[in-house]
Structure 1
Amino acid sequence: MQPNDLGLSGKKAVVTGGVRGIGRGIVLALARAGVSVATNHRQDSAFADSLQHELKEIGGDHLLRRADLADADQATAFVREAGEHYGRIDLIVNNAGAISHIPYGDLPVEEWKRIIDINLTGPHLIIQGALDHLGEGSSVVNIGSKAAEAGVPNRAHYTATKSAQLGLTRSLCKELGPRGIRVNTLLLGVIQTEAFDDKPAEQREQALAMYSRKTALGRLGRPDEVAGAVLWLASDLSSYVTGAAIGVDGGIS
């Protein structure tokens, strides 16, 4: 099935953190399906420039803005600009996130707050800032992690935010449901992005082998496979799906 078969052409979307990795895959898949996409990046980079070029080649009314979602004013201004520009928002994908690996006993309060600001407060600000532009049939997709269910050592702060995200999803699906707005979370396993390419060759191969062995499918996921789940949740095919935590993890254990 081609993306356009899902009836998404003409819809308007906000995707946070869309210039690299999973977010980039989602942005490009939506744009190819005829969706107008507003996305943000925290700092200027070659990735932002190349995404701008790709979106121009695909065509459509897209917005690429510099906004740090850990800053409440910038987060709110970004989503409100998108809503005012498009007149409505049919889809929100809260993809932007941060992670660090620190033993709990050594975890500084500043790092705890940083991860919470980006992973939890950021999505809250984006959804809240978009409320006036969301309506019947709108879909909110929070990009979560399988870590919320499994727990991961040295990532207590990250795991806590992803677990809290599930609570936010469940509460908002009930509060916004009467307006016809659906809210779901995708629980991701290990997705192969540029972060793997940045590792030294031996370390990269070891990580790929280790995580591949943990999955039922024997391989890592791809950004376009996450994008496929987002396209489904953006479409009418998932019109009765809300409050769900959907694994996109290859059957990882």
Structure 2
Amino acid sequence: MFPDLAGRRALVTGGTRGIGRAVVLGLARAGATVVAGHQRQTEEAESLRRELKDTGGDHLLVQADVADPGQITELVEATGTHLGGLDIVVNNVGTISHIPYAQLPLDEWTQVLTTNLTATHLVTQGALSLLGDSGSVINIGSGSGVVGLPLRAHYTAAKTGLIGLTRSLSKELGVRGIRVNLVSPGVIETHHAEGIDPAVKAAYTNRIPLGRIGTAEEVAAVVLFLASDVSSYVNGATFAVDGGI
């Protein structure tokens, strides 16, 4: 069953590239009206705007740096003005860097935790008044939040934090009819994967039982499931989209 999201209103952060872009387009093509947050005006943002226009909906792109709480407030306010309310929130925005823990500077730790974890908290908290007494919040985590990875202690800490945040909010907000779930991608073909050394990429592929790296669209399909009524009794769950690695 393909989710029918006609009439639903959605906010997606980090919506112009990779998984976020696939989620935005998937939601729009399923009938939702989407506000996509993005950090910079780029050709990727312009091309997404053109693709969204082809879906026929009244979609909107809003430039906002989620590392700045003030800009998160502006993003949520713009969403409320444009949509009048929300049914779906997808916290996708994130950043990553690879630094040995012994040399990890505080500002890098703070930046990664702010973008990957604190922004999810602030966007979700800000969206509560727009969600009302129902809705679906989907957080995009990472397999590294479960297994841990060297050189990424800060990133792993943030993604592990999303697991706890998701589980706590699912219990606290569930009484309001708001479901909160986590999607945990493995190795996915996105701009983040483009910089991976071919040998490392091959090593990852060899560990994946399905024998290949996943696509952003495959992650987006799980997000659409969680955004729809098909998953109406799914709450506080973590969905690994990693080919079995």
For Structure 1 versus Structure 2, the TM-score category normalised by the shorter chain is over 0.9
Deviation at 1:106, TM superposition (A): 0.2
Give the corresponding residue for 1:139: 136
The change in CA–CA distance for 1:154 and 1:198 in structure 2 (over 3 A counts) is closer
Q: 2:21 aligns with which of 20, 24, 43?
A: 24
Deviation at 1:87, TM superposition (A): 1.4
1:112 to 2:112 alignment? no
Give the corresponding residue for 2:94: 97
Deviation at 1:43, TM superposition (A): 1.0
Supply the distance in 1 between the matched residues of 2:228 and 2:100 (Cα, whole angstroms).
Answer: 41
Residues 13, 20 of structure 2: 8 Å contact kept: yes
**What pairs up with 1:22-101 in 2 under 5 angstroms?**
22-101=19-98
Secondary structure at 2:183 match in 1 = strand
Give the corresponding residue for 2:167: 170
Give the corresponding residue for 2:123: 126
Supply the distance in 2 between the matched residues of 1:229 and 1:57 (Cα, whole angstroms).
Answer: 23
Supply the distance in 2 between the matched residues of 1:14 and 1:124 (Cα, whole angstroms).
Answer: 14
Deviation at 1:195, TM superposition (A): 3.8
Aligned CA-pair RMSD: 1.3
Q: 1:150 aligns with which of 134, 147, 151?
A: 147
Supply the distance in 1 between the matched residues of 2:146 and 2:192 (Cα, whole angstroms).
Answer: 23
Residues 13, 37 of structure 2: 8 Å contact kept: yes
Code of the aligned partner of 1:208 = K
Secondary structure at 2:40 match in 1 = coil
Gaps of 5+ in 1: none
Runs (4 or more) in structure 1 with deviation over 3 Å come to 194-199
Q: 1:192 aligns with which of 169, 189, 214?
A: 189
Secondary structure at 1:97 match in 2 = coil
Deviation at 1:154, TM superposition (A): 0.6
Supply the distance in 2 between the matched residues of 1:223 and 1:230 (Cα, whole angstroms).
Answer: 11
In terms of mean alpha carbon deviation, does 131-140 or 235-244 score higher? Answer: 131-140
Deviation at 1:80, TM superposition (A): 2.2
1:235 to 2:228 alignment? yes
Aligned length: 245
Secondary structure at 1:145 match in 2 = coil
Residues 22, 220 of structure 2: 8 Å contact kept: yes
The change in CA–CA distance for 1:211 and 1:172 in structure 2 (over 3 A counts) is same
In terms of mean alpha carbon deviation, does 98-107 or 129-138 score higher? Answer: 129-138
Supply the distance in 2 between the matched residues of 1:194 and 1:13 (Cα, whole angstroms).
Answer: 24
Supply the distance in 1 between the matched residues of 2:106 and 2:191 (Cα, whole angstroms).
Answer: 29
Code of the aligned partner of 2:25 = L
Gaps of 5+ in 2: none
Among all aligned residue pairs of Structure 1 and Structure 2, give the percentage whose two residues are the same amino acid: 53
